Amino acid sequence: MTHVLIAGATGKTGRLLAAEILEKGHTPIALVRDSSDTNVLPVGTKTRVADLTDLPADVCAEADVVVFAAGSGGSTGPEMTDKVDRDGAIALIDAARRAGVERFVMLSSYGADQSDPSGDLAHYLKAKHDADEHLKASGVTYAILRPIALTDDAKTGDIRLGEGVDPSGEARRADVAAVLADAALKGRLDGHVAEMQTN
């Protein structure tokens, strides 16, 4: 049985990921803050209390795989984006490396390949870019998923992964969660950065 530590497990995508991991017979460990609403987590999910802005050294203890599916949210400013999406991710990557986890799966974003992005999401994409680059250089086995605009529609299983993604399309969170679960449990994206959309 694989133990998967999920940062962002109470978020819309994270809770779907926890359900996918449980469904496949493995154990999700939700990284939650004291103030998190854990009622949204599927029954059977373990919890570990910690804050991405101040992680304890042993945060990855007992975890075989770590998935970063957290985000500061659209209503926070640049400072919190840096603290969570960049610095929090980097701190968790470093903790995972120290703990000797098998792999680290990053939920990134379409456009995070740019080192100097522009537009409304520039600050967010820059933070994601920096975290992705840190992960690639960390020495930990990694997988980075970069979906386009997320929706809450039902899972289809009909996805496009890799090249040829339509930037104006969409990626259903349920499909994203399924791909993240496969990446975490089966290593299907090990060493790869993959863009994604739902067809």
What tokens were used for 6?
């999920």
Q: Would you name the residues annotated as active-site residues?
A: 124
Q: Which residues of 31-52 are buried (b: 16+ CB within 10 A; e: fewer)?
A: bbeeebeeeebbeebeebebbb
- Closest by CA position to 130, among listed 143, 115, 145: 115
Tens of pLDDT, residue by residue, the chain (199 residues) = 999 999 999 999 999 999 999 999 999 999 999 989 999 999 999 999 999 999 999 999 999 999 999 987 656 788 999 999 999 999 999 999 999 999 999 999 999 998 888 888 889 999 999 999 999 999 999 999 999 999 999 999 999 998 789 999 999 999 999 999 999 999 999 999 999 999 9
- Degrees to nearest 5, angle at CA 136 with 143 and 16: 30
The residue ranges of every structural domain in the chain are 3-198
3-state secondary structure of 29: strand
Helix %, strand %, coil % of the chain (to 5) = 35, 25, 45
* Measured distance between the N- and C-terminal CA atoms of the chain, rounded to whole angstroms: 32
Burial (CB count <10 Å: 0-12, 13-18, 19+), residue 121: middle
How many residues are present in the chain?
A: 199
Give phi and psi for 107, each to the nearest 5.
-85, 105
CATH of domain 3-198: 3.40.50.720
